[in-house]
Amino acid sequence: MLKGSRIVLVEDDEIMGASLLQRLELEGAHVLWLKQMGRALGAIRTPSQPIDAVICDIGLPDGTGEELFATLARSGTPPPFLFITGQGGIGQAVRLIKSGAADYVTKPFDMSVFLERLSLLVQPRADMGFPPLIGVSAAASRVEALIARAAQHAQPVLIRGGPGTGKDLMARRIHDLSDRRAAPFVTVSLAREEDAGQALLGAGRGLAAVGDGTLFINAISLLESDVQVALLRALDRGFDGRLITACGNTLEGLIAERRFSPELFYRLAQMEIPVPPLGARPEDAVWLLQQLFRKLAPTYAPALDGISALCETAARGHDWPGGGREVRARLVRGLAMAAGPMLQPSDLFPEHLARSDAMMSLAEAREAAEKAQIIAALDRTEGQIGEAAKLLRIARTTLWEKMQKFDLS
């Protein structure tokens, strides 16, 4: 179950740590054993190779496991955390689960139960000869692992993420990794269809065109109420294919407003793949910029040698509200504007030149800080608006309004 997995063990107790290390290595895992929060923070934040899971004691000599997890969550999406706690720390462990941790066990625990719980967190890798799909960060690796897991099953999958996060590519990857890969892969984008009912339920289209293949419905949140009912009825009659849907982070709000059927939501979301926004994954933004440069520069700017370090730093600091589509659009424009041998920040972000001599107003600074905090909360809660609102200590409707304002829905 754990063969080949990479696990970080954060445990200061010599006897407990040695026992877990020995058993995990017998199970075939590669284990890095650390005894302090400070060392674990650096090792998990900048790993030499992707980490599949972290086993962490809540009590550490230089801090707590909760502090370690919260610090990692503020700057990205941590690997799955399995916390070890005594009976007196169960309340703290439950709070950590609500904040995004994966699981916890209480001392003393049965080793077979512990290994079973850990194995559920260590997802199969989605390599199989495929290149990275959305990036190289720990968060991207978790998405890839969920994709690989989804490919092994037949239940409906809901992919959730903001604009330009590659939801269509993920759906295709699930199909290509599954045993349905030789059957049709049919896409229906509701943002482009004038008649969603016909596109999904018409003769020879949608459900009828898939056979035992995969039907991918993008922008499912745009589905009108009457078509939602019709789709549910069609699924109840029997569907031989695989259903994958995608949306932004708005469905809970639509359900609360009675504009989306909770029954349909639960039918579609038997497995969810949340995709953190690109702005919360700066290393993936740079990776995508590099990938697109290699593809587009020979056509748009063959004389350019590459991307400057300053330009990559600027890309890391941008919040990319438009996701991958914004990266591509800015790069195409930047390649046309570039005058030197390297792509510079002013090529990618020409608007910075217009305001380089002016300070940001207090109102602009407040909005920028609010947006960054909202992105961090949504990333930490994997897009769950209600949980993010609790973290931010505001009403769900207030968060929803701010998400609309900052184009984060």
Residue 268's pLDDT band, with cuts at 50, 70 and 90, is: very high
Please report the pLDDT score of residue 227 as a whole number: 95
Question: 274-324 pLDDT, tens per residue?
Answer: 998 998 888 899 999 999 999 999 988 888 989 988 888 889 889 998 999
Whether the per-residue pLDDT at 120 is higher than 80: the answer is no
Please report the pLDDT score of residue 409 as a whole number: 55
Please report the pLDDT score of residue 125 as a whole number: 44
Whether the per-residue pLDDT at 57 is higher than 60: the answer is yes
- Mean pLDDT for 199-224 is 93
- Mean pLDDT for 26-41 is 91
Q: Which of the two residues, 106 and 226, has the higher pLDDT score?
A: 226
Please report the pLDDT score of residue 87 as a whole number: 63
Please report the pLDDT score of residue 127 as a whole number: 44
**What percent of the chain is predicted at pLDDT more than 90?**
38
Whether the per-residue pLDDT at 380 is higher than 70: the answer is no
Question: 332-359 pLDDT, tens per residue?
Answer: 999 988 888 999 998 999 877 655 455 5
Q: Which of the two residues, 124 and 292, has the higher pLDDT score?
A: 292
Beta carbons of 399 and 385 less than 8 angstroms apart: yes
> Whole-prediction pTM value?
0.58
Radius of gyration (C-alpha) of the chain in whole angstroms: 23
Please report the pLDDT score of residue 399 as a whole number: 86
Please report the pLDDT score of residue 89 as a whole number: 65
- Mean pLDDT for 84-107 is 75
Please report the pLDDT score of residue 271 as a whole number: 92
Pairing state between β 63-64 and 59-60: antiparallel
Whether the per-residue pLDDT at 128 is higher than 50: the answer is no
Domains delineated in the chain: 6-121 (3.40.50.2300), 138-276 (3.40.50.300), 279-354 (1.10.8.60), 362-405 (1.10.10)
Amino acid occupying residue 103: D
Whether the per-residue pLDDT at 367 is higher than 90: the answer is no
Residue 362's pLDDT band, with cuts at 50, 70 and 90, is: confident
Whether the per-residue pLDDT at 12 is higher than 80: the answer is yes
Lowest pLDDT segment from 74-83, 134-143, 381-390: 381-390
Residue 159's pLDDT band, with cuts at 50, 70 and 90, is: very high
Please report the pLDDT score of residue 404 as a whole number: 76
Mean pLDDT of the chain: 85
Please report the pLDDT score of residue 356 as a whole number: 47
